Structure 1
């Protein structure tokens, strides 16, 4: 009978032969965790690679690979004729309470180590974005109508002709041809007055909000936020330590006089004037002028989020507030992600000239720059007229989809859902009129992956409306009608 080699028993090492990770990697990770947690004490002798391979039913090379990696990292000490022993000393091991529960590294045991800003930033405020196409997802573009072949040829052309020029580090403020194309487009389509140097290319509107909060707000500064309003803006300002002051919205948009009364010394006002999120109303001209006068007199800033104003169905898109600003107090944020496709990750922020250097430096310090190939392709897409053509086609398609949703709501949901303003944008807010809570309705809708969002969490005050935020741009007319029927059946069950 062969002599059994000395060493500790290691039953927990049995590898998962059907797993995705290689067997030697599984052995390495399990041994490493056992050493760090103290399950294998310092100077414990391990079985030989031959013995362990026989006991586990794996090749000796598999065990040798795991041992060699542990030896290289200092967890094992291997000597010819003496075998392998645990080399990590007692004081270097992790506490058992931490090592045994690695999932807690993202939980409460680590929370006290966060800064106050980190604790605010880590709050679960924003709902997760769906990874698939759901009928009512707000602000989801019509991916089924996107000119993928044209975009693919555009990207390939830029890659072929630019070569290494697009493989180096880019300018923090963005690719100049794209900044020039954005400035030209905004001047004609949105009435924005700016030079290309005032345009910063970012990855998202959320990044524009975060940069603005970091650079313009100090701890405790008051910020006007539309009530109800965009959760992403609330998260950005609260994480910066600002004091968010909700300002009610009515049929003419933000009630500037209420904001002036409640927080006259606010440092910044965040608005979605062309298509208020989520109610869909438009900020009237008198209130736009009043907002600009307040900002000028108070040396405050206005952050204009123009997230989907390109899509207006009864009239031409309304001019931006930024074009009315003569005092240089407005920052203008826009995005390509809601016009093209979400994973493009290209947006922009137009800042007053006095802020250009500061925002460029902050962009360099926090994120460097946006991918150059995507920027070059987007610039060519705009210069060749493809972007304007795509916008025209989407306006027609979204108008048809909006009409289909409104018609279905009238036919199927009359008496319990009342649509709000729907002259523009990519969503409609429908108010619950039967006394039900939107939380209950959306919970049922989620079981069928409808993508509806709750209205009530978008309020900060006590006067909360119950309703659903229903996107219509990402689904076909037939799909929207079917989704409304499904939603109504769920409500009646």
Structure 2
């Protein structure tokens, strides 16, 4: 054991963050890396609080935790000391942790699927910062009614004394499910009862549940090419064999899929608003897909993630509403209309599958949180959600037009903008003679979250385009940032 430190108590500086936690970590790390020797007496809590320019209560809380864990002890009438029996081996291990060799990633004996997914993860991981300009998949978050939502949460909380301890329904909060039956029937033409609805933590959990209930290792799954990259990753992680199906102006090419991948067990589709191209699956192809699924005992996962963002025409009836053979599993989400962190969605499954999906939901995470489900039920029942949807549609359409006009005014020599009647992002095709990598580099330098179309492609090579999300930004910000991009690109490509 080293001798006691005789020098004055070292100056300790807190890092940014939660102060009580940092008092604990600051002193603990100073002990373990040798800046404070074992056996030394610490300054009083009052003196240390003054030294660190924080409240005395924060220091007391940190001391109490260190005493509980055996780093410090007190002598009555004398003060607080660093324990003398902290092993040298522990101190050396911590203080020299930077020199400890780490095992090679390839030797960790992980599930091989981890390596399979790494390439997809590398594409998406740098873009998880949802605060970026023109990021993808975010609705009009600045229009969310925070105060109203807070009042609803408060009301539910005050009334929840009996409900919270007893809520454990894996399929969801029954009043919310009953309201959703009426809502999807009137807005999406979906036919169901509350027994068919499973409340889930967003679309990604919905895809996970579908994979767990319906697929075996090696089963074939149709996926649009290009398509939602997280769906591809989740289904790959479940052991599915992904079959890329070309998508054109009429949506997924059903004839191509039937000809080339006739043994598919599941078709993942976004018929109302193909992601990421924004097209709509034509009625002949919808009927062909339903017929093929029935004849081949296959299931269709209908991801209706964007149906409420239709601006000039009524929402197209969901594929599920045309299904006479109970082959469609329908998924809806609230995160686009509410905010990204609102992790509630729902599945509508054929009645024969209801028990299996409820069981799998229970063994995945038991159930979704009570408070948000109950507040959402109030939000819908009192008419707030319908009003919010009408408001968001108009604002989002205005922002789409603003983006379209800004691109055509400042960057029409570089981009062809693909406009659609719905959605919260736009595909900008790059004209001949311009380098997409160079343009993306300028977007990144401006802090844009715009994404290359190639991120969502499997085999499709026609991906010389960039996706810009516009819904989360006011019109002035859209115009100003397109001007900034134009200035950057004009320095490289003078007109």
Q: TM-score range by the shorter chain?
A: 0.7 to 0.9
Q: How many angstroms apart in 2 are the aligned matches of 1:65 and 1:139?
A: 42
Q: Secondary structure at the match of 1:238?
A: helix
Look up the SS of the partner of 2:221 in the other structure: strand
Contact 1:76 1:86 in 2 (8 A): no
Aligned CA distance change for structure 1 residues 76 and 340 (closer, same or farther; 3 Å): closer
Residue 296 of structure 1 corresponds to 294
**1:98/1:437 CA distance change after superposition, 3 Å:** farther
Query: How far 1:324 sits from its partner (Å)?
Result: 1.1
Q: After superposition, what is the alpha-carbon deviation per residue over 1:247-287, rounded to whole angstroms, capped at 9, x for unaligned?
A: 11000000011111221111211111101111111000111
Q: Deviations over 1:75-104 (max 9, x none)?
A: 9999xxxx96657698xx799699724998
1:100 matches 2:91:
no
Q: Distance in 1 between matches of 2:279 and 2:61?
A: 65
1:28 touches 1:69 (CA, 8 Å); kept in 2? no
Equivalent residues in 2 for 1:167-246, closer than 5 Å: 168-246=166-244
Contact kept? 2:407, 2:482, Cα under 8 Å: yes
User: Structure 1 72/486 Cα, relative in aligned 2: closer, same or farther at 3 Å?
Assistant: closer
The 1:462/1:469 distance shift into structure 2, 3 A limit, reads: closer
Q: How does 1:320-331 map to 2 (within 5 A)?
A: 320-331=318-329
Using the alignment, how far apart are the partners of 2:142 and 2:373 within structure 1? 23
Whether 1:476 aligns to 2:474 is yes
Residues 331 and 349, structure 1, Cα contact 8 Å, conserved in 2: yes
- Pick from 137, 143, 165 the counterpart of residue 141 of structure 2: 143
Aligned to 2:367: 369
Number of the residue aligned with 1:42: none
Residue aligned with 2:467, SS: strand
Report what 2:458 is aligned to: 460
- Distance in structure 2 (CA, Å) of the matches to 1:142 and 1:153: 21
- The answer for unaligned runs of 5 or more in structure 2 is 50-55, 75-81
Task: Tell me, yes or no, if structure 1 residue 48 matches structure 2 residue 45.
Answer: no
Q: CA deviation at 1:472?
A: 2.0
CA RMSD of aligned residues (A): 3.7
User: 1:436, CA displacement in angstroms?
Assistant: 3.2
Corresponding residue for 1:255? 253
Per-residue Cα deviation, 1:25-76 (whole angstroms, up to 9, x for no partner)? 43434555x6xxxx9xxxxxx74334x879xx979x9999999978976899
Decide which of 314, 317, 320 is 2:315's aligned counterpart: 317
Gaps of 5+ in 1: 40-45
Give, in angstroms, the shift of residue 401 of structure 1.
1.4
Distance 1:314 1:113, change over 3 A: same
Shift of 1:381: 1.0
Equivalent pairs counted in the alignment come to 471
Distance 2:362 2:100 in 1: 33
Q: In structure 1, what is the equivalent of residue 330 of structure 2? A: 332
C-alpha displacement at 1:184, in angstroms? Answer: 1.1
Residues 198 and 101 of structure 1, relative CA distance in 2, 3 Å threshold: farther
| Mapped contact 2:252–2:281 kept (Cα < 8 A) | yes
Counterpart for residue 16 of structure 1: 12
Residue 205 of structure 1, CA deviation: 0.8
Q: Could you report, residue by residue, the CA deviation over 1:371-414 in whole angstroms, capped at 9, with x for unpaired residues?
A: 21111111111111111111111111122111111122222221
TM-score (norm 1): 0.84
2:3 maps to what in 1? 7
Name the SS of the counterpart of 1:342 in structure 2: coil
Given that 2:67 and 2:73 are in contact with CA atoms closer than 8 Å, whether structure 1 keeps it comes out as yes
TM-aligned CA deviation for residue 9 of structure 1: 7.3
Distance 1:234 1:402 in 2: 28
- Asked if structure 1 preserves the Cα contact closer than 8 Å seen for 2:132 and 2:447, the reply is no
Pairwise CA distance, 1:189: 0.4
Query: How far apart are residue 147 of structure 1 and its match?
Result: 2.5
